[in-house]
Structure 1
Amino acid sequence: MKRLGQGACAAALVVLAMAGCRKDDTQAPAVATDGAPAAAAPADAAPTAVELHDVIETNARYVLGIGYPPAANKYPGLAQALSDYAEHAKAELLKAVDELGNDKPTAPYELSLAFDMAVDTPRVVAVSAEGSSYTGGAHGQPLEARFVWLPEKAQLLTAQSLLDSPKGWQAVSDYTSDKLLEQATVRAQGEEMTPEEQQAQVRNLSKMIDEGTAPEAANFAQFQPVMDAAGRIAALRFVFPPYQVGPYSDGTQTVDVPAAVLLPYVAADYRELFAHP
């Protein structure tokens, strides 16, 4: 994602502002700053009340736009998590602005962040966060995050709590690395280069893929459910931001891991949420 020009950024901010007015009854399947969403709060903990509102700020030094789905306000704990993420991104931008001192940037710094409802069912809710933060350089820093909220448990579903054994993350690692390598091979074949150059490119990408999909929960922190017609999780879509499993030019990449692959390792508290073969 290249940095927006001032005119394009203004248009993008208008879109963000309008995003909060969209209907939120769709169920389309859909790092961030520095890490996964905060750890799940206990069900009996009362989250701090927060009301999400779209934010637009513009001045000579920075342009800021944040858009929220109104439906997220139904879930106070989820709303708090979204607010915390956005406030962190905003704080990072303002810190960079402050570090300019009396200098004026050649182009305004920019934060563009849109939260959207990806899933909204009685048992599973998911919100995607996508955008970028520009504080100088050739392009902005991509922002990618996913938040999965379980209304019945009043908690976030995190990667750390999802699978209950190292074997589970090994299975996810094997599956996602194979799919990402397939995608990399297809991309290489579509480019104008010799077979030898294609093979070299895939070899280089395979190293990034192996590192970015090592069997650790932190590498799979960003995910969202893909629901079936019965309202159960048919797959989890793992999201890999730019640089994790490929160069910036490859953008965000995703892999859907079927429930059948995950179920043998899903923690007992969450197995009922998944579609069974």
Structure 2
Amino acid sequence: MTPLPPVHRRALLLAAPALACLLIAACHDRADAPLPARASATRAANPATPPARPKDELETTASHVIGISYPPGLERYPALATEAQRYASQARQQLLDAAKQRPPSAQDGPYELSLEFKLDHESPEMVVLAVDGSAYTGGAHGTPLIQRWVWLPPQNRRLTVADLFPQPASWQRIAGEVRAQLRSELELRLDADNATPAERAAATKSAAPMIEGGTEPDPGDFAVFEPVLDGGGKITALRFVFPPYQMGSYADGMRTVELPAARLVQDVAPAYRPLFAITG
């Protein structure tokens, strides 16, 4: 992975000419008034090096295949790029550890890691970075790897759902609305499949505890989210993303539920309400 820009080394390089001028002036007992102009000229001749884009990775061996790609422009947010690289590094290490522990008799193909990072939104107030991928370490299928980062450039930090909704009572309402939508979606699928009453009862009995277990009224169950934005970059809804296994089988795939801003903004912390199209 590409390291962060060598800020300290640049600072030393920029300071060296000014320091030399000061020493010469002291030796010749001359005034130091011209020094700021010299320092300015030096800085103009040595502009700051822009941060480097994180490097894509492609590694192919007999035991594993790793492919990681980063989007152009991510280097504009060095701290966010560091978060993305840390996520990729952890996934990479987990795959390599699994490959080392792989039984010699295993008949599966090479273990695989695939991660594709994308900048879904960029504005002065907010940046949204998404990664979708998978890790295969044997078995019938891989493990989906899904994450979202909502970044606030003015504060140079990540915005979490716990920041947005700090009150426990808010999560009772959010969990209740998400569960209601998921149950409604289940009913629509059963209608589309022309399920018999017995099939409907069995499916509902099976899905209910998984929905409940995957949507506890806690920020941890809603940590992966992405804003739905209007043309001006304001949030009109929040889309909660639930990876496979959180509330169903692999075959159920990734699930998403959108809640409109009008039903959320009353619970949003006041500091973040200006990000929403409806401020309450």
TM-score tier, shorter chain, comes to: 0.7 to 0.9
Task: Report whether the alignment pairs 1:207 with 2:219.
Answer: no
Distance 1:225 1:157 in 2: 11
- Where do 1:261-276 residues align within 5 Å? 261-276=263-278
Q: In structure 2, give the amino acid aligned to 1:53.
A: K
**1:6-30 Cα shifts (integer Å, max 9, x gaps):** xxxxxxxxxxxxxxxxxxxxxxxxx
Tell me what 1:198 maps to: 200
Contact 2:151 2:157 in 1 (8 A): yes
- Where do 1:50-65 residues align within 5 Å? 51-65=53-67
Structure 2 stretches lacking a partner, 5+ long:
1-50
RMSD over equivalenced CA pairs, Å: 1.7
Whose helix fraction is larger, Structure 1's or Structure 2's? 2
Q: In structure 1, give the amino acid aligned to 2:155.
A: K
Task: Report whether the alignment pairs 1:150 with 2:152.
Answer: yes
Taking structure 2 as the reference length, the TM-score comes to 0.77
Contact 1:64 1:110 in 2 (8 A): yes
Distance 1:50 1:130 in 2: 23
Taking structure 1 as the reference length, the TM-score comes to 0.78
Q: In structure 1, give the amino acid aligned to 2:221.
A: N
Contact 1:77 1:155 in 2 (8 A): yes
> Offset of 1:195 from its aligned partner?
2.7
Q: In structure 1, give the amino acid aligned to 2:226.
A: Q
Structure 1 stretches lacking a partner, 5+ long:
1-48
Contact 2:53 2:74 in 1 (8 A): no
Tell me what 1:28 maps to: none
Tell me what 1:169 maps to: 171
> Offset of 1:57 from its aligned partner?
0.7
Tell me what 2:228 maps to: 226
> Offset of 1:105 from its aligned partner?
5.3
> Offset of 1:203 from its aligned partner?
2.7
Task: Report whether the alignment pairs 1:69 with 2:85.
Answer: no
> Offset of 1:107 from its aligned partner?
0.5
Tell me what 1:27 maps to: none
Tell me what 2:141 maps to: 139
Question: Structure 1 residues 75 and 106, CA, compared in 2 at 3 Å: closer, same or farther?
Answer: same
Contact 1:222 1:238 in 2 (8 A): yes
Tell me what 2:126 maps to: 124
Distance 2:73 2:106 in 1: 39
Q: In structure 2, give the amino acid aligned to 1:253.
A: R
Aligned to 2:84, which of 82, 85, 96?
Answer: 82
> Offset of 1:98 from its aligned partner?
1.3
Distance 1:104 1:55 in 2: 26
Distance 2:114 2:227 in 1: 24
> Offset of 1:106 from its aligned partner?
3.0
> Offset of 1:127 from its aligned partner?
1.2
Structure number, greater radius of gyration:
2
Tell me what 1:17 maps to: none
Provide the secondary structure at the position in 2 that maps to 1:70: coil
- What stretches of structure 1 move > 6 A for 4+ residues in a row? none
> Offset of 1:257 from its aligned partner?
1.1
**Identical aligned pairs, as a percentage?**
42
Provide the secondary structure at the position in 1 that maps to 2:227: strand
Contact 2:53 2:73 in 1 (8 A): no
Provide the secondary structure at the position in 2 that maps to 1:122: coil
Tell me what 2:261 maps to: 259
Provide the secondary structure at the position in 2 that maps to 1:260: helix
